[in-house]
């Protein structure tokens, strides 16, 4: 059964879902809701969901933070790309990626070629509020979160904007964002 309060009927969701012939990969800054929205979207579409960072941690048997600290970012990005490629091959319906994944040129090319990239965008104030709920974000431990997120958004916007679809994630329910993604996918297809 689909979640309540979706603006799309079950028949509309089913019609859109059958038109999607490859995984949907959610990209965007930390805190935009990629994992939460991804779970809602996969549930609506009756497809499988996976968080790429969780898959990386499971494969490496250590946290993303530990991998960064011990081996560095380029090592992490290489492993991240291999895991995302595997997840695409395994036909996951919806894949949430880490905030920097789509910035890597090889990972971005892989996603654009073999999946549908959806950029979930959000205003910085909302991102600061959302990211303050957990202390697991290495990049935000290096100074003022508002300043860091503003800078990251400016640096990454040119990369995120290459996604086939862009949606705004506001303060409303994540189900609204998931429904908007389906509507944009329908129009894009």
Residue 12 — left, alpha, or beta (φ > 0 → left; ψ -120 to 50 → alpha)? alpha
C-alpha to C-alpha distance for 120 and 50, rounded to whole angstroms: 16
- C-alpha–C-alpha distance, residues 50 and 97, integer Å: 9
Q: Is the dihedral of CA 149, 153, 159, 161 positive or negative?
A: positive
Would you state the pLDDT for residue 91? 81
**DSSP structure string for 3-45:** PTT-SS-HHHHHHHHHH--S-EEEE-STTS-HHHHHHHHHHHH
Measured CA to CA in angstroms, residue 33 lies from 21, 25, 171 at distances of: 24, 13, 11
* Token duo for residue 140: 């935000």
pLDDT averaged per 10 residues, the chain (length 189): 64 94 95 93 96 93 88 91 95 92 96 98 87 62 81 95 94 89 95
Q: Give the residues across from 96 on adjacent strands.
A: 26, 51
The edge-to-edge listing of strands for the beta sheet with 116-121 is 49-51, 94-96, 24-27, 116-121, 165-168
pLDDT value at residue 170: 79
Alpha-carbon distance of 47 to 34, in angstroms, equals 16
**What integer pLDDT is reported at residue 1 of this predicted model?**
42
Q: Domains along the chain?
A: 22-181 (3.40.50.300)
Q: Between 52-60 and 73-89, two packed helices, what is the crossing angle to 10 degrees? A: 110
Q: In whole angstroms, what is the distance from residue 51 CA to residue 36 CA?
A: 10
């Amino acid at each position: 059964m689909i979640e309540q309060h979706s603006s799309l009927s079950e028949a509309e969701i089913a019609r859109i879902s059958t038109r999607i012939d490859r995984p949907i990969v959610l990209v965007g800054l930390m805190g935009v809701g990629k994992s939460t929205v991804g779970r809602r979207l996969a549930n609506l579409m009756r497809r499988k969901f996976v968080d790429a960072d969780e898959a990386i941690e499971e494969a490496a048997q250590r946290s993303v933070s530990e991998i960064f600290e011990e081996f560095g970012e380029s090592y992490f990005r290489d492993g991240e790309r291999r895991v995302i490629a595997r997840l695409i091959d395994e036909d996951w319906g919806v894949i949430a990626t880490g905030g920097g994944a789509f910035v890597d040129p090889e990972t971005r090319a892989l996603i654009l070629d073999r999946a549908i990239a959806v950029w979930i965008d959000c205003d910085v104030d909302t991102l600061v509020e959302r990211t303050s709920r957990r202390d697991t974000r290495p990049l935000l431990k290096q100074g003022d979160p508002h300043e860091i997120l503003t800078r990251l958004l400016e640096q990454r916007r040119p990369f995120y904007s290459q996604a086939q679809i862009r949606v705004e994630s506001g303060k409303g329910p994540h189900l609204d964002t998931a429904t908007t993604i389906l509507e944009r996918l329908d129009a894009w297809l």
